[in-house]
Structure 1
Amino acid sequence: MDNGVLTHIDIYPDQAQYKTGQSGSIIIEVETREKAVLQLVVGFYKLEQQVAEGRLSISTEPGLRQKVSVPLFTEATEWAGYGVKAAVLCNEAVVSTAYTSYDIADHWGRAPRYGFLSDFRSEESGDTRDVDSMNKFHLNVIQFYDWMYRHDDLVPKEDEFIDPMGRTMSYKVVREKVAAVHDKGMAAMAYGAVYASLKDFLQARPEWGLYNRQGDPFQLIDLFYIMDITPDSPWTDHIVEQFRQAVQAGFDGIHMDQYGFPKKAVRRIGGKEEQVDLAECYPALINRTHAAVKEIKAEAGVIFNNVGNYPINKTASADQEALYIEVWPPVVRLRELKGLIDHARSLDPHKPVILSAYLPSFYPEAGHDKEWAENGALLTMASIFASGGYHLLLGEDHGMLTMPYYPDYAVMRPEFAIEVRRYYDFIVRFGVLIHDAQLEDVSYTYTAGVNTEITFVGNVPFAPNGDINSVWTIIKRKPGYQILQLINLAGLEDDYWEHGKKQRPEAQNGVVCTLLIEQPIECIYTASPDDQAQKVIVLDYEVVPHGQGVAARFTLPSLRIWSMVVVKFSLQE
């Protein structure tokens, strides 16, 4: 930015996601030090190719922030992502550039960039800064965490109420936030625990609960009591009706939570005791909830929480929009995040995978250095995204989750928020190369060891194991493409995803890649969310002999944290 002309520039779409056939706009904010006439050249890109361009002129007044709208490039598609570059010219010279992305999808379940809201105090009334913030990160489905009156009686009867955690809440604000979320093209998901009641509810209905072998009710912090979710339980009828009422009240679906325990329990029904295996009960409950909410709203959906990955082998085939996993130890290393995603995709490749991976290094009371936490966060996001997953992390007004009780979120520094926005811009623009259901992972058969289809020459090893002091190679392919996701782990003190990092990885420069040509190549290009210019760089390559034929040899630009290399094959042999 030339500070002699501009004092502010920002760019973002007017919605988090657009439906197929819907129109929309790119919003560009500019502010100048003095009166000026500016030209804006706005380019639209689909993957590496420019597909449209718009031009306009604006006159500015000093100190007055102006917003201008540029119509989106749209096309008929089930799902596609687009990049946007706005160049600002003054007297024919470029004084600044700004970048954003957007996507078009027939349903939010195509690309569920999950966010959260948890502040519903009356003081929030009329304040939509949180939703505006989430829109700039393209969060298109929002979990309303602890919005309800009680866990066993969801929809509040009055505008002001006290929730089970003692917070004074406003149902009027909840409704306002739902409307604001809808206005930005986001879906609103109502949090609902599948088997949590308060103590008095169970005491009045002891046959509805679950008990341990000693006869004591299962409970959490003596506040939430675990209820019987077997298909014929009265509680199951009750909670599904509560979920149905939440969608009737305006939500777009249910975030079905559980606590990961008990896994087996005892129910008391008709004076008899029966053992319950909860893993066997969840699929029927998910399916029943899905059917109930779709009766109210055709586009409604559900997301079920597999706590610690339990019991995803049972739930993956149930009717839900995504496979959601709340990550807990012993999954502690970056490569283990990929393991969760790979396993979930193997169960149902057509359901997107969302990891709820909290970052305690940002917890306000922990007293950690912010940059330490930020260095670790980017590596965690890169690992999840490059592996083909989504990350429930962001929400509120630049908030980041630090623990499973969402109100204890942290707030990003403005400088860090800019970096995180680039990461989300990146996964929106290149979503079909990162998250497509057709992608096949060939990491362990194409790189390192005896595999010579793709080799690298650099200062550190390149391998698919995700070890520190290496570059982690995640190789995927789909018809027409081979995609190399490279995550730099050089110089790190550890590979724990929850931890911050003292420094960022040591940049890798001058890395030479040799890639076996298995099909005719149209082009090879690279892009990285670490690049402030968000450029797609077409790579020159030479054809060289290879033991299995011929190969393309090229040199990579600097690898900082995460870079993607795309090999696009010719349509004709």
Structure 2
Amino acid sequence: MPLTLLPTRASYRSSDSIGVEVRGDLPAADGTVSVWRLGELLHTQPLQPGALQTIPSLPPGGYGIELDGGGWRARTAIEVTDDPRSRLRYGFVASYDPGKDVLAVAELARRLHLNAIQFYDWAFRHADLLGGGEEYVDALGQPITLATVRELTSALRQAGSASYGYAAVYAVGPDEWPSWKQHALLRPSGEPYSLEDFLFILDPAAPAWLNHFTAELAAAVDDLGFDGFHLDQYGYPKHAATPDGNPVDVAASFARLIDEVRRELPDAGLVFNNVNDFPTWDTAHAPQDAVYIEPWEPVLGLEALARVATRARAGGLPVVFAAYQHTYTHASADAADRAAAFTMATLFSHGATQLLTGEHGKVLVDPYYVRNHDPEPTTMEFLTRWYDFAVEHDALLFDTRIVDVTASYVGDYNDELDVAHVGIKATETAVAGAIWRHVTRTPEGIVVHLINLVGQDDTMWDAPRNPPGPTGPGELRFRFIRGRVPRVRVADPDAGPRLVEVPVSLHGDHAVATLPAFDVWQVVHVSL
């Protein structure tokens, strides 16, 4: 069995005991466990007897954990935080059969550091969450056992991950519709907006509905142990009228609903789905815990993802995208993995995460989460590397104080900092055939993100991707501070997951560093 490391929790508080489980056959050699923060060695200790390695307490931050000895190495990462909701690394669960292996779900949360899990379609009906008793069939024919839901919330809590119950904020099924149709949102034709004849849509801010909806959520917290809720919508309508002729601004109704749910459930975590960025401009400032966006057409390219992520971060909340990688259903695992890598590189480098994986190791390929994908083992290995990288380099990626300074630094007029690769164009936007450079200012220094689009025919995020073309070594040239020796380090989630120093030489007013070749994404950290 390959040697792997598995944190005991998806996220740790500073008061928690930190432990890492060693799995696989250890070679007959002494080993060393080391703790790293942004490439700096903080702590080493000899490998302890037994599978569990206990690590001394650490201040809040993201850390890399390595186990080395005799030419072998295993890695993982850990997060320590006293504000778990300051980040959202989201996963999902979508089946609740009797006897479900709930520990496997909790183990995936630990392995990928998923600090919150969305419980998709657990309820009896959209407008009657708990009305089915202990065992029932949901509105789409899936069997549900509430004992399994409770086992999942308990196992995830022990694994350091929160449980968020799915709840549609304005959807009513045909059996319940006669009681609510007076609050319908109507088309210009007078017919109610709906999902065919399966669900009908009402004004989410209708007072009677808000009283009912918040009571249903509160009962689910008490009965099932949810830590919060994923509040869903379908992206339409934007404006409508109710049967009494009153116009409804649905964006404003969503904001009022979030306010009301927060008032009734002050301690619950809340995540609202902004379908295609609607209406992030209102909900990003509502009393919720993250900005969650489900992108569809016209948000089809990497550049569009980047723009939406940058805009969403302005609210100061964690940002997560439900960017479904349909590519896994019709392309080779390698081509689909590359698509996911470019998507994650774009989102991570712009301060956002992606809801992509869940259950005991599934990948999302469809907005109906029950239709998920069983990936190849190589896909889960790839995702583990990239999720580890995101946690270890959290301070360079997700700190809310990070700002984009690309337009102020690159180019001949600025002459402040730029990169060059022989024969390859460097661009400020995502362009096929180029190296896309993105510069940020962080509390830890300047960070340059390089995404390799050489060899690509387009920049669609949900399409099979070609193998990245060779970049060759790069040159980073930047102005330095008189009397200070600058430092440049690089990391790559595939080739070199820990920041390592590269040589820097001084030439007049500029310092020059040689960057190694890279595959998809390279992070360059510049300390002036």
Aligned ranges for residues 88-487 of structure 1 at < 5 Å? Answer: 88=69, 94-124=70-100, 126-155=101-130, 157-230=132-205, 232-249=206-223, 250-268=225-243, 272-294=244-266, 298=267, 300-346=268-314, 348=315, 350-363=316-329, 367-448=330-411, 450-458=413-421, 459-487=423-451
When normalised by structure 2's length, the TM-score is 0.96
**1:8 corresponding residue in structure 2:** 2
Structure 1 distance, partners of 2:419, 2:504, is: 14
- 1:220-254: per-residue Cα shift (whole Å, max 9, x none)? 13111112223x53112111211222222310111
User: How much has 1:141 moved relative to structure 2?
Assistant: 0.6
User: How much has 1:480 moved relative to structure 2?
Assistant: 4.4
**2:36 corresponding residue in structure 1:** 45
The answer to whether the Cα contact below 8 Å between 2:165 and 2:226 also exists between their aligned partners in 1 is: yes
When normalised by structure 1's length, the TM-score is 0.88
The answer to whether the Cα contact below 8 Å between 2:276 and 2:294 also exists between their aligned partners in 1 is: yes
Structure 2 distance, partners of 1:441, 1:57, is: 44
Larger deviation, residues 508-517 vs 315-324: 508-517
User: How much has 1:395 moved relative to structure 2?
Assistant: 0.7
1:121 maps to amino acid: D
Q: Structure 2 vs 1, CA of residues 187 and 334 (structure 1 numbering), >3 Å: closer, same or farther?
A: same
- 1:350-395: per-residue Cα shift (whole Å, max 9, x none)? 21111110011113xxx43222212211111111111111101111
SS at match of 1:288: helix
The answer to whether the Cα contact below 8 Å between 1:37 and 1:57 also exists between their aligned partners in 2 is: no
SS at match of 1:200: coil
User: How much has 1:212 moved relative to structure 2?
Assistant: 2.0
SS at match of 1:102: strand
Structure 2 distance, partners of 1:490, 1:120, is: 44
The answer to whether the Cα contact below 8 Å between 2:396 and 2:444 also exists between their aligned partners in 1 is: no
Q: Structure 2 vs 1, CA of residues 521 and 224 (structure 1 numbering), >3 Å: closer, same or farther?
A: farther
User: How much has 1:273 moved relative to structure 2?
Assistant: 2.2
User: How much has 1:460 moved relative to structure 2?
Assistant: 0.5
Structure 2 distance, partners of 1:30, 1:309, is: 44
The answer to whether the Cα contact below 8 Å between 1:354 and 1:391 also exists between their aligned partners in 2 is: yes
Structure 2 distance, partners of 1:20, 1:293, is: 26
Structure 2 distance, partners of 1:218, 1:551, is: 61
User: How much has 1:518 moved relative to structure 2?
Assistant: 4.9
Query: What is the aligned counterpart of 1:564 among 497, 500, 523?
Result: 523
1:50 maps to amino acid: L
Structure 1 distance, partners of 2:411, 2:383, is: 31
Task: Could you tell me which runs of 5 or more consecutive residues in structure 1 were left unpaired when the two chains were aligned.
Answer: 1-6, 59-66, 89-93
The answer to whether the Cα contact below 8 Å between 1:438 and 1:478 also exists between their aligned partners in 2 is: yes
- 1:486-545: per-residue Cα shift (whole Å, max 9, x none)? 1111111211001011x32113122111111258455221111012x5232111101112
Structure 2 distance, partners of 1:353, 1:523, is: 30
Structure 1 distance, partners of 2:14, 2:263, is: 24
Structure 2 distance, partners of 1:409, 1:157, is: 25
User: How much has 1:157 moved relative to structure 2?
Assistant: 4.8
User: How much has 1:105 moved relative to structure 2?
Assistant: 1.2
User: How much has 1:416 moved relative to structure 2?
Assistant: 2.1
Q: Structure 2 vs 1, CA of residues 239 and 449 (structure 1 numbering), >3 Å: closer, same or farther?
A: farther
Q: Structure 2 vs 1, CA of residues 197 and 135 (structure 1 numbering), >3 Å: closer, same or farther?
A: same
Structure 2 distance, partners of 1:179, 1:198, is: 30
1:553 maps to amino acid: V
Structure 1 distance, partners of 2:437, 2:403, is: 14
Q: Structure 2 vs 1, CA of residues 225 and 16 (structure 1 numbering), >3 Å: closer, same or farther?
A: same
2:42 maps to amino acid: V
1:165 maps to amino acid: L
Structure 2 distance, partners of 1:191, 1:100, is: 30
SS at match of 1:289: helix
Aligned length: 525
Query: What is the aligned counterpart of 1:511 among 468, 474, 499?
Result: 474
User: How much has 1:408 moved relative to structure 2?
Assistant: 0.8
**2:66 corresponding residue in structure 1:** 85
SS at match of 1:536: strand
- 1:150-181: per-residue Cα shift (whole Å, max 9, x none)? 11111355221000001111111111111111
Counterpart check, 1:19 vs 2:4: no
User: How much has 1:452 moved relative to structure 2?
Assistant: 2.1
**1:535 corresponding residue in structure 2:** 498
Aligned ranges for residues 539-554 of structure 1 at < 5 Å? Answer: 539-545=502-508, 550-554=509-513
Structure 2 distance, partners of 1:401, 1:449, is: 43
- 1:3-47: per-residue Cα shift (whole Å, max 9, x none)? xxxx53111211100113211201111326xxx743220000111
1:84 maps to amino acid: I
The answer to whether the Cα contact below 8 Å between 1:138 and 1:424 also exists between their aligned partners in 2 is: yes
2:251 maps to amino acid: A
Q: Structure 2 vs 1, CA of residues 37 and 43 (structure 1 numbering), >3 Å: closer, same or farther?
A: same
1:352 maps to amino acid: P
Q: Structure 2 vs 1, CA of residues 400 and 480 (structure 1 numbering), >3 Å: closer, same or farther?
A: closer
User: How much has 1:330 moved relative to structure 2?
Assistant: 0.3
**1:62 corresponding residue in structure 2:** none
Q: Structure 2 vs 1, CA of residues 280 and 127 (structure 1 numbering), >3 Å: closer, same or farther?
A: closer
Structure 2 distance, partners of 1:24, 1:513, is: 38
Q: Structure 2 vs 1, CA of residues 243 and 483 (structure 1 numbering), >3 Å: closer, same or farther?
A: same
- 1:293-328: per-residue Cα shift (whole Å, max 9, x none)? 22xxx3x21000100101111111100111111000
Structure 2 distance, partners of 1:491, 1:303, is: 38
Structure 2 distance, partners of 1:221, 1:489, is: 41
**2:464 corresponding residue in structure 1:** 500
**2:51 corresponding residue in structure 1:** 68
Q: Structure 2 vs 1, CA of residues 145 and 449 (structure 1 numbering), >3 Å: closer, same or farther?
A: farther
SS at match of 2:498: coil
SS at match of 1:84: strand
SS at match of 2:124: coil
The answer to whether the Cα contact below 8 Å between 2:357 and 2:363 also exists between their aligned partners in 1 is: yes
SS at match of 1:509: coil
